[in-house]
Amino acid sequence: SPTFPSLAEKGAYDMNHVYRISDILQVISFAENHGIVVVPEFDTPGHTLSWGKGLENFLTSCPGLGTFGGDYGPINPSVESNFKVLQKLFAEVSSLFPGGFVHLGGDEVPFDCWAANKDLGAWMKQQGIGNFNDLESYYEERLLDIVHHLNISYVVWEEIFNNDLLIQPDTIIHVWKGNWEATMGKVIKAGYKTILSSPWYLNYIGSSKDFELEFEFNWQKYYKVEPYKIPGATPEELSRVIGGEACMWGEFVDATNILSRSFPVASIVAERLWSSEEQTNVNDMGFRLEKHRCGMCARDIPAETILKRGYCPIEFSGHEWHD
């Protein structure tokens, strides 16, 4: 960040593990050439431990109760200067990403850290904020006001909706937890647009004793999901289901396995989202998907096999893949 260089200088593992502006522009350009809009996620007020290393008084102090058992937790909403930081940061984001969308996160906010900070508690009392749901709502209202004035459209994780926070009518709710049909039903009945990820977390590793059956079952399960089959929803409400996302989180993924872990399974999710509800033949999908995988391998993309016969006329060579 040119505006806040200390975010990378102090918050990154090292300066070899940083997305520079040139890297971001290269990703955006490559995506545009393939009809893709890049939507960056800046998840707050939780998941911000690395931010605090480069921004003074940014995080809530709570010794022993912070992230990973440390001394700091979410952003401290009682520090007014923190919202000035967010305004400048998102102004930079809006100028860099041309798609007009940003994911604002909002998931997994650890209230116990906020509760342990006596200064924050005293401030809440002065402001008439009675509980931590209301504190989170205060934070999100301030944040959404910032991005609204920057003319940015936004997506948030489902906790923002589940916790009954006050949000703008144009907020897009990203559903990722279990019992997604019920959650999406509530979201669309409340008038919000929504996208689905709950059944498509590709980073999950099968834990069955019979791993082969576990994996084969999982890829078919991805294909059988139908986001529009929400009990009791009207056609107007279903029109608010605007899509889905396959997720690949990084706990067990890096440059050595991200492509093979993602493909061709992500293609299953893509076809599900781009196809009609009537297209459900898993066997047909399996054969076509394996052919698609072989096409990727021929282009030196290390897409893993999903069928037992798993071979390709032109196998992956290990050379750098090309478009």
CB 77, CB 123: distance < 8 Å: no
3-state SS class at 172: strand
Euclidean distance between CA atoms 259 and 126, whole angstroms: 51
Contact assessment for residue 40 and residue 27, using Cβ atoms and an 8 Å cutoff: no
| Those residues with Cβ within 8 angstroms of residue 98's Cβ, 6 or more apart along the chain or in another chain | 28
Is the previous residue joined to 45 through a cis bond, with omega within 30 degrees of 0?
yes
- Angle formed by the axes of helices 265-274 and 211-224, to 10°? 20
Structure tokens at 239: 């029109």
Residue 108 falls in the annotated catalytic set: yes
Which of 9, 32, 108, 212 is catalytic? The answer is 108
DSSP reduced 3-state for 174: strand
Residues known to be catalytic: 108
